Amino acid sequence: MSNTERTFIMIKPDGVHRGIVGEIIKRFEQKGYKLVAMKFMQASVEHLEKHYADLAKKPFFPGLVKYMASGPVVAMVWEGLNAVKTGRVMLGETNPADSKPGTIRGDFYVQVGRNICHGSDAVESAEKEIALWFKPEELVNWTTVQAPWIYE
Ligand code: IDP
Ligand code: MG
């Protein structure tokens, strides 16, 4: 765990269509995480099959990839202390019924197949996902002036 831990957060096509891109970015900004990379794009089926390769055998996989490829996404890298685990807490649970109000999923969705936002589930998968979605030179190396007020 370090201040430079990174997580991959992606606003899914439903999050873009429903106009909550700014809201999701705001939550990570106000928490104190640092934006390291961001890309607005429409991902290909092939790319999404790689991203969700671990789920390839699930019955919902074809529908998941179709939904994810159906419109634009906002792919982002956020950095900071415990970014992966805390990012997941901010996101909420996979099961909508378990997602508490105050979390992104708890506040904005009701059905698992339209759940607005992705977040890496472990440091290792975060690193893999960041490498899949971004070239090394797309990760911006900068220091926020807020750093001494976020970290002791
Ligand atoms: P996560 O996004 O909370 O990490 P995963 O189990 O990794 O959840 O599943 C990836 C994505 O697959 C979910 O975010 C959701 O969009 C979709 N998904 C998961 N379970 C189901 C399901 O039972 N039906 C339809 N889609 C699902
Ligand atoms: Mg997952």
**CATH classification of the domain holding 133:** 3.30.70.141
For residue 97, give the 3-state DSSP assignment. helix
The rounded distance, in Å, linking the Cα atoms of 109 and 20 is 11
The rounded distance, in Å, linking the Cα atoms of 8 and 131 is 10
What's the domain count of the chain?
1
Count of CB atoms situated within 10 Å of the CB of 14: 21
**49-69, pLDDT tens digit by residue?**
999 999 999 999 999 999 999
The mean pLDDT value of the chain amounts to 97
95 pLDDT more than 80: yes
**Looking at residue 1, what is its pLDDT?**
56
Among candidate residues 17, 47, 51, 118, the one labeled active-site is: 118
Say how many Å lie between the CA of residue 148 and the centre of ligand 1.
37
The rounded distance, in Å, linking the Cα atoms of 87 and 66 is 25
111 in any annotated domain: yes
88 in any annotated domain: yes
**Looking at residue 134, what is its pLDDT?**
98
149 in any annotated domain: no
47 in any annotated domain: yes
147 in any annotated domain: no
Ligand 1 and 95: CB distance under 6 A: no
For residue 8, give the 3-state DSSP assignment. strand
152 in any annotated domain: no
- Which letter does DSSP use for residue 55 in this model? G
151 in any annotated domain: no
**What is the biggest distance separating any 2 CA atoms in the chain, rounded to whole angstroms?**
47
Which residues are known binding-site members for ATP?
12, 60, 88, 94, 105, 115
The rounded distance, in Å, linking the Cα atoms of 126 and 132 is 10
For residue 27, give the 3-state DSSP assignment. helix
Average pLDDT over residues 147-152: 94
Average pLDDT over residues 11-29: 98
**Is 51 tagged catalytic?**
no
Domain assignment of residue 88, given as a range: 6-140
Task: Quote the tokens at residue 74.
Answer: 């906002």
C-alpha distances (whole Å) from 79 to each of 51, 58, 86, 139, 140 are 20, 31, 11, 11, 11
146 in any annotated domain: no
**Looking at residue 2, what is its pLDDT?**
76
Q: How far apart are the first and last CA of the chain?
A: 15
Give percent of the chain with pLDDT exceeding 90: 99
* Model confidence, pTM: 0.97
